[in-house]
Amino acid sequence: MTDTPTAPARQRRGGLLGFLRDLVVILLIAFLISFLLKTFLVRSFYIPSGSMEHTLEVNDRVLVNQLVPKIVPVQRGDIVVFRDPGGWLGPSVAQPAPSQFEQLLQTIGLAADTSNDYVIKRVIGLPGDRVVCCDAQGRVSVNGVSITEPYVLIPEGQTAASGITFDVTVPKGKLWMMGDNRYNSADSRFHMNEPGKGFLPEEDVVGRAFLLNWPLNRFTWLSDYQEVFAKVPAPSALSDSR
């Protein structure tokens, strides 16, 4: 005669299988949520260069709000990630190709994007803005108002906010981008003699970096320093006053 499994034995087997089934469902849901967040809302990026020091250091990871600029408009002072419009990335930022496992984690949003297609800088000029450097105190001015930028890294022996002088008016649909490490940042200033004249198309913006989430000892919210630009008039207001 074949013994019939006792109730406790059936419960143990059912409990283990049930646990494993629930675990798989939870993991699938977590991966789906992560993928949807990465696709539509939040994405993680790796910082490959020192152009944003000391706000962002090499090997930092940041979270990016992808609602900017599609739904939420870009503002002066925002740190944004954007696709390389062509020639902004040099060979020095090339990274080793990620493994297939790392690529999978990047696809579902569980790892920072380490591809060589993206740049991160700070927005200094919006469409219509006139951005000039430098005034008598070595500051950048936007629409005639000089700004004091506490985030800028200026090397010893220098005083100006930029080692390159410029006077530009940002065209419609474009942005003027600058790195915080002004003397070591191949930003809009370095591309003024190219066809795009250094202006970044807004459509190339992936999103605004809002959180430095790795390493943990540098975990912090990223400021857009709106107080720096608080007195800068809008281009329309500037035009109306002339």
Q: Which residues are known to be catalytic?
A: 51, 121
Q: How many CA atoms lie within 13 A of 206 on its CB side?
A: 22
Half-sphere exposure of 193 (CA within 13 A, CB side): 3
| Sequence-separated (6 or more) residues with CB below 8 Å from residue 165 | 133, 134
Distance of CA 116 to the CA centre of its chain: 14
SS3 state of residue 63: strand
The answer to whether the CB of 207 falls within 8 A of the CB of 64 is yes
The distance of Cα 53 from the centroid of its chain, to the nearest Å, equals 14
Give the tokens for residue 230: 């608080």
